[in-house]
A and B are shown apart, each in its own frame.
Chain A
Amino acid sequence: MAKTVFIKDTAITGKDRTRDFYGLFLGVLREKGLDTTIQLVRLADMGIYSAGIAVRVLPDNHLYTQVGESDIAGIVESIKTGQPYQPRLTKQASTQMRIVLRNCGVIDPEKIEDYIAHDGYHALARCLTELTPEQVIQEMKTSGLRGRGGAGFPTGMKWEFTRKSAGDQRYIICNGDEGDPGAYMDRSVLEGDPHSVIEGMAIGGYAIGASKGFFYIRAEYPLAIERIEKAIKQCHDNGLLGSNILGSQFSFDVEIRLGAGAFVCGEETALLASIEGKRGYPSPRPPFPSVKGLWGKPTCINNVETLANIPVILFKGGEWFSKIGTETSKGTKVFAVTGKVKRSGLVEVPMGTTIEDIVYGISGGAMSGKSVKAIQTGGPSGGVIPKDYFQTRVDYESLQKMGSIMGSGGMIVMDEDDCMIDIAKFYLGFCVDESCGKCAPCRIGGTQMLRLLEKISEGRGVPKDLEQLAMISRAMQKASLCGLGQTAPNPVLSTLNYYRAEYDAHVNDKKCPACKCSKLLSFLIRQDKCVKCGMCFKACPVGAISGNREKGYVIDQEKCIRCGQCFEVCKPAAVLRQ
């Protein structure tokens, strides 16, 4: 019996060894003459992270992690017998609930047969043969699915608005311009399960009455683009896109448009301008895209993760979906847990799971024995949530109440070494870089705020600066034209709210409590602890340390650039950082 073997290097850091390992594995298969009966597939995402090389054997569904070169022979042997290879056999963590990522790492994304075998395109067939577009929309409304791009607008309502808008042509667009720092769930879905997104779009197109769809994918995702291209071709070959799909009256086709690297193009109106070939500027709403969108026609824009949910909902029913999650937020959410956490990666959990369960339970808490200080959700538009509030259950409303947002699902874990001013500066800097420059509050306000934060982190801050930060924040939130500017001050406001003491320490005492802001640090050698090894002397890149192994060493504060090299190399911890 033909078998399939998936391979993926799940380590987040360092070189991706998938290709090398693939070569080795293939070598063994060839040696044993099995390369024609066992198919080897390199995956972009298996839904498992920080577990070394992972290997999954199908249809036996045996998963092996931390696989080394020496295990290959054993695994190949076990494939032949069908018995698992015990030394590396792993059971996948079960606290997650995989709806969006249901097929990622389970099917071969380049094979439409695999997708169909996993209930793919059944939902589309059901819609086209059993349901009217209105019934599809009703099913979506029953499910309670809300947009996963960030704002959380009910998808069924969005579809209904678009369907009810007058127009001879309607469009559905898949927003794949994922850009939040650290978030990559959309990429994983596009790479790992492209057909689910196409099916979601086709169902959406049927529901709203669109005959044309566009994928807007950022050009930095070449593999996602390649897989979607292949998937579209397979759909054409199998009559799942084009005229009279599955013999019905419904005709639908999709095209790909590439984003050229502007974060703001993830904003609906800017995205439309970009597809139309114009400068990626947002425009005032109303009119909303559902009324006047692409080329003036009613347009529905859904996020990748939203679309990936749709086939399941229409296969299993809205009723089933609405039982998952909380009162206001249904279904699951994929989070990209990154930062200083033991097991970083994509995590899909039902709405309402506590932050604690995600950060400690699934992701294993802080890396390297330090303690977690806070998380940042919602990317540059979100805010921080200190660990004291980790009992919070994640859904749209509760995160908003905490001064953050769901956003696209980025979750960055910070430990005690992270300075909150530095974090705020990083996120604000991102928004300032990505501001389109159209409206004054965001264009000038963002830059002014960043200057103030730089001033504070360099020890030049005065109390009035905090007042100015708050003032500009209010103006940006209320008067910016689009979501980017309106939410850009959130990281500053939430850190000011939860960590005011850190700001005060920077401004009043000229100290950085996390010892992160280099301009506020000083390094001293404690002679009582110094063993005169000379490591610091060697490490200093600017020759600020003088002395010898007899007399000991001192740091010249004038010359010191506060890089911290001496602190890092000192084994007896004789270098004092303060």
Chain B
Amino acid sequence: MVKAVIDGISVEVPAGTSILDAARKVQIKIPTLCKHPDAYLHASGACGICMVRVKGSKKMLRACCTPLEDKMDIITHDPEIFEIRRTVIELILSNHPNECLTCGRNNNCELQSVVADFAIREEFFEKIVPDIPQDKSTGNIVLDPRKCIKCARCVDVCQNTQDVWALTFLHRGFNTRMAPAGDISLAESPCVRCGQCSAHCPTGAIVEQDDTKLAWKALRDPEQYCVVQIAPATRVALGEAFGYPLGSNVTKKMYAALRRMGFKAIFDTNFGADVTIMEEASEFVERFAHKKGPLPLITTCCPSWVDFMEKFHSDMIPYFSSAKSPHEMVGALVKTYYAEKKKLDPAKIKVISIMPCTAKKFEISRSREMSASGYQDVDVVLTTREMARMVKQAGIDFVNLPEEECDHILGDYSGAGTIFGATGGVMEAALRTAYSFVTGKKLPKVEFENVRGLKEVKETSINIEGTEVRIAVAHGLANVEYVLNQIRTARKEGKPPPYHFVEVMACPGGCVGGGGQPYGVTDELRVARSKGLYSEDEALTIRCSHENPYVQQLYKEFLGKPLGEKSHRLLHTKYQPLPVYRR
């Protein structure tokens, strides 16, 4: 621990804590544009706004990347510091287009806030904004390098947290710009569309493609029958946009809001998650208990992870579960099972998914299997951030909205379905059902605490009737390589697989920390959102997917049995190696 003084206030923090973080502890907020509070991101020292000084020293220090030292006496505010900060902000503004009103980050831009806080009312320096075109090539993530302030958060998260290396800086000096390496388009780059860049960008330089117009168009078309589903992680994050405490579960308000927007059927991806577990747990039992197929089984709910694997680790394809992701399953079932029951023309059904994720926008058209119903199974994907905007556009007073229920037959879910949104959740849900499938017994205790939490790689084993099941859970793509190398080494040495079951989620924390979630993600927030999901799981009476009566009904009336012919056609997919660069 180090003891120091900041602005005359004593502070004690663990050694290595930055001055910026230490100051926060004593209610001093030092402005910064490059350091994100998320612990995954490193302090780059790029913006030069967080300047502070040791009392009596002429030199200034960057609070974001200078560790507080014992007996330091830090001044965070004096006339010179204020002047320097203001000048730097004015300089950054001189290199930023004045397009606030039409910007994707209008009203929640960090640069806008800082400029407003410093009461900059006129442009002091000459405006120099080079003309660089936008990159909309991916169709789900939009790069606008002109708005980039070179804070390097996106490059850091893309290279270090996600190990994708799609984004980098090109050129140098004033001509420095954020872009895919080699100046190719983002779609040609290794980008896996996880959207972590957009979730951490302080300005509108990287935003999700806004598809709310597409959703409204479908909703306003009297010919169309619009069906919506909400992903597990969105229900514990959307509330943040309306001032709810972190991690609040607003599922039933979301249902009500969506119904008011004009959706004819309100379904839940959690139901799809339950179906995914039926298929995936059966696949696991096939491979584990009946030795049909290689182990470990690796989960495939996350489209960024699938894309990453197809590009960088295609030797892992045999281990992949062929089960589609939950929202794709719901999409396929809406346009077949539900359409049949309701006697609807599937051509006139529009399925819209509310997702915590930008990669889901890409997933809906990634392969032929995503049109298993004969039509594109999911038509539009909206992120949590877009849904918040739609609620506001619709003039809905979200906070005071009465709570409503979802519609049956593809809406009701078990506790296992809801925890899909947190890292380890898919594993836990699958284990609950796999246990019963293998033993034919009811699980005495459904919680598997060892797979929960934010540890980068969670390796553990559980005992199913005397047989050890070794599992690994990884989140954040940079953590995957360790797990995959364990598998590779064992395979090379002819040893038994180190794990039987592996879960991977591309984003740190799983979908609660997804690239389409509300801004400002930190570990604290990831924990709060996960907690919201685990509390819901605890409160539900049905906590295992196979016990969901609507799931049972689905198999009885329509699918037959898990991994059956119909399941394979509608609910499973294929993988293929992809080139890392497409040019």
State the A residues within 8 Å of B (CB).
Answer: 262, 279, 283-284, 286, 432-441, 443-448, 451, 468, 471-472, 474-475, 478-481
Check B92–A444 contact: CB distance below 8 A: yes
Could you mark each residue 79-112 of chain B with 1 if its beta carbon is under 8 Å from any beta carbon of chain A, else 0? Answer: 0100110011001101100000000000000000
Given A279-B168, A436-B172, A286–B66 Cβ distance below 8 Å? yes
Given A440-B46, A479-B60, A447–B172 Cβ distance below 8 Å? no
Q: Using Cβ atoms and an 8 Å threshold, which residues of chain B touch A440? A: 46-49, 88, 91-92, 95, 149-150
Check A480–B173 contact: CB distance below 8 A: no
Q: Which residue of A lies closest to B61 (CB)?
A: A284
CB distance from A287 to the nearest CB of B (A): 9
Check B45–A446 contact: CB distance below 8 A: no
Q: Does B216 contact A (CB under 8 A)?
A: no
Q: Which residue of B lies closest to A280 (CB)?
A: B172
Check B48–A441 contact: CB distance below 8 A: yes
Q: Using Cβ atoms and an 8 Å threshold, which residues of chain A touch B150? A: 437-438, 440, 443
Q: Does B217 contact A (CB under 8 A)?
A: no
Q: Does B169 contact A (CB under 8 A)?
A: yes
CB distance from A161 to the nearest CB of B (A): 16
Q: How far is the CA of A432 from the CA of B128 in the complex (A)?
A: 15
Q: Which residue of A lies closest to B60 (CB)?
A: A478
Q: How far is the CA of A438 from the CA of B155 in the complex (A)?
A: 12
Q: How far is the CA of A433 from the CA of B43 in the complex (A)?
A: 25
Residue in B46, B91, B126, B175 whose beta carbon sits within 8 Å of that of A445 in the complex: B91
Residue in B48, B95, B175 whose beta carbon sits within 8 Å of that of A481 in the complex: B48
Which of A436, A472, A479 has most chain B Cβ within 10 Å?
A479
Q: Using Cβ atoms and an 8 Å threshold, which residues of chain A touch B126? A: 448, 451
Check B45–A437 contact: CB distance below 8 A: no
Q: How far is the CA of A286 from the CA of B66 in the complex (A)?
A: 7
CB distance from A427 to the nearest CB of B (A): 15
Residue in A262, A284, A435, A474 whose beta carbon sits within 8 Å of that of B84 in the complex: A474
Q: Which residue of B lies closest to A435 (CB)?
A: B173
Interface size class of B (residues with CB under 8 A): 35 or more
Q: How far is the CA of A480 from the CA of B91 in the complex (A)?
A: 12
Check B84–A479 contact: CB distance below 8 A: yes
Q: Which residue of B lies closest to A432 (CB)?
A: B173
Residue in A441, A444, A474, A481 whose beta carbon sits within 8 Å of that of B174 in the complex: A444
Q: How far is the CA of A549 from the CA of B181 in the complex (A)?
A: 64
Q: How far is the CA of A490 from the CA of B369 in the complex (A)?
A: 64
Check A448–B48 contact: CB distance below 8 A: no
Check B128–A474 contact: CB distance below 8 A: no
CB distance from A459 to the nearest CB of B (A): 17
CB distance from A452 to the nearest CB of B (A): 8
Check A432–B87 contact: CB distance below 8 A: no
Q: Which residue of B lies closest to A480 (CB)?
A: B48
Check A443–B94 contact: CB distance below 8 A: no
Q: Using Cβ atoms and an 8 Å threshold, which residues of chain A touch B62? A: 284, 481
Of residues 144 through 180 on chain B, the ones whose CB sits less than 8 Å from some CB of chain A are 149-150, 152, 168-169, 171-176
Of residues 25 through 81 on chain B, the ones whose CB sits less than 8 Å from some CB of chain A are 43-49, 51, 59-60, 62, 65-67, 80
Q: How far is the CA of A445 from the CA of B173 in the complex (A)?
A: 11
Q: Does B125 contact A (CB under 8 A)?
A: yes
Q: How far is the CA of A210 from the CA of B150 in the complex (A)?
A: 37
Check A286–B91 contact: CB distance below 8 A: no
CB distance from A284 to the nearest CB of B (A): 4
Q: Using Cβ atoms and an 8 Å threshold, which residues of chain B touch A279? A: 168-169
13 CB contacts below 8 A, A to B, read A262-B172, A284-B62, A433-B173, A437-B169, A440-B92, A440-B150, A446-B174, A472-B91, A474-B83, A479-B49, A479-B51, A479-B84, A481-B46
Q: Which residue of A lies closest to B58 (CB)?
A: A478
CB distance from B191 to the nearest CB of A (A): 19
Q: Using Cβ atoms and an 8 Å threshold, which residues of chain A touch B448? A: none
Secondary structure dominating the interface of B: loop
Check B152–A438 contact: CB distance below 8 A: yes
Q: How far is the CA of A444 from the CA of B171 in the complex (A)?
A: 14
Q: How far is the CA of A474 from the CA of B58 in the complex (A)?
A: 12
Check A284–B169 contact: CB distance below 8 A: no
Residue in B48, B91, B174 whose beta carbon sits within 8 Å of that of A435 in the complex: B174
Check A475–B173 contact: CB distance below 8 A: no
Check A434–B173 contact: CB distance below 8 A: yes
Q: Using Cβ atoms and an 8 Å threshold, which residues of chain B touch A439? A: 45-48
Q: Using Cβ atoms and an 8 Å threshold, which residues of chain B touch A479? A: 48-49, 51, 60, 84, 88
Q: Does B581 contact A (CB under 8 A)?
A: no
Which of B51, B125, B126, B173 has most chain A Cβ within 10 Å?
B173
Q: Which residue of A lies closest to B126 (CB)?
A: A451
Q: How far is the CA of A433 from the CA of B171 in the complex (A)?
A: 11
Check A478–B84 contact: CB distance below 8 A: yes
Check B88–A437 contact: CB distance below 8 A: no
CB distance from B3 to the nearest CB of A (A): 19
Q: Does B118 contact A (CB under 8 A)?
A: no
CB distance from A438 to the nearest CB of B (A): 6
Q: A438-B176, A447-B173, A481-B48 are in contact. List 13 more A-B contacts (CB 8 A).
A: A435-B174, A436-B173, A438-B150, A439-B46, A439-B47, A443-B173, A444-B94, A444-B95, A448-B94, A448-B126, A474-B80, A478-B59, A480-B48
Q: Using Cβ atoms and an 8 Å threshold, which residues of chain B touch A284? A: 43-45, 62, 65-66
Q: How far is the CA of A200 from the CA of B83 in the complex (A)?
A: 45
Q: Does B242 contact A (CB under 8 A)?
A: no
Check B87–A474 contact: CB distance below 8 A: yes
Check A443–B45 contact: CB distance below 8 A: no
Closest A-B pairs by Cβ, 3 of them: A437-B176, A479-B48, A475-B87
Q: How far is the CA of A256 from the CA of B544 in the complex (A)?
A: 62
Q: Which residue of A lies closest to B93 (CB)?
A: A444
CB distance from B110 to the nearest CB of A (A): 14
Q: Using Cβ atoms and an 8 Å threshold, which residues of chain B touch A474? A: 80, 83-84, 87
Q: How far is the CA of A149 from the CA of B383 in the complex (A)?
A: 53
Q: Does B124 contact A (CB under 8 A)?
A: yes
Check A438–B46 contact: CB distance below 8 A: yes
Q: How far is the CA of A471 from the CA of B91 in the complex (A)?
A: 11
Q: How far is the CA of A451 from the CA of B94 in the complex (A)?
A: 13
Q: Which residue of A lies closest to B91 (CB)?
A: A444
Check A441–B171 contact: CB distance below 8 A: no
Q: Which residue of B lies closest to A434 (CB)?
A: B173
Check A475–B84 contact: CB distance below 8 A: yes
Residue in B44, B91, B149, B152 whose beta carbon sits within 8 Å of that of A441 in the complex: B91
Q: How far is the CA of A335 from the CA of B366 in the complex (A)?
A: 64
Q: Using Cβ atoms and an 8 Å threshold, which residues of chain B touch A446? A: 173-174
Given A284-B43, A286-B66, A448-B94, A437–B83 Cβ distance below 8 Å? no
Q: How far is the CA of A436 from the CA of B44 in the complex (A)?
A: 14
Check A448–B125 contact: CB distance below 8 A: yes
Q: Using Cβ atoms and an 8 Å threshold, which residues of chain A touch B94? A: 444, 448
CB distance from A22 to the nearest CB of B (A): 41
Q: Using Cβ atoms and an 8 Å threshold, which residues of chain A touch B128? A: 444, 447-448, 451
Q: Which residue of B lies closest to A479 (CB)?
A: B48
Of residues 455 through 512 on chain B, the ones whose CB sits less than 8 Å from some CB of chain A are none
Q: Using Cβ atoms and an 8 Å threshold, which residues of chain B touch A447? A: 128, 173-174
Check A437–B171 contact: CB distance below 8 A: yes
Q: Using Cβ atoms and an 8 Å threshold, which residues of chain A touch B95? A: 440, 443-444
CB distance from A288 to the nearest CB of B (A): 12
Q: How far is the CA of A444 from the CA of B59 in the complex (A)?
A: 21
Q: How far is the CA of A439 from the CA of B173 in the complex (A)?
A: 9
CB distance from B132 to the nearest CB of A (A): 14
Q: Using Cβ atoms and an 8 Å threshold, which residues of chain A touch B43? A: 284
CB distance from B67 to the nearest CB of A (A): 7
Q: Which residue of B lies closest to A279 (CB)?
A: B169
Q: Using Cβ atoms and an 8 Å threshold, which residues of chain A touch B48? A: 439-441, 475, 479-481
Q: Using Cβ atoms and an 8 Å threshold, which residues of chain A touch B176? A: 436-438, 443
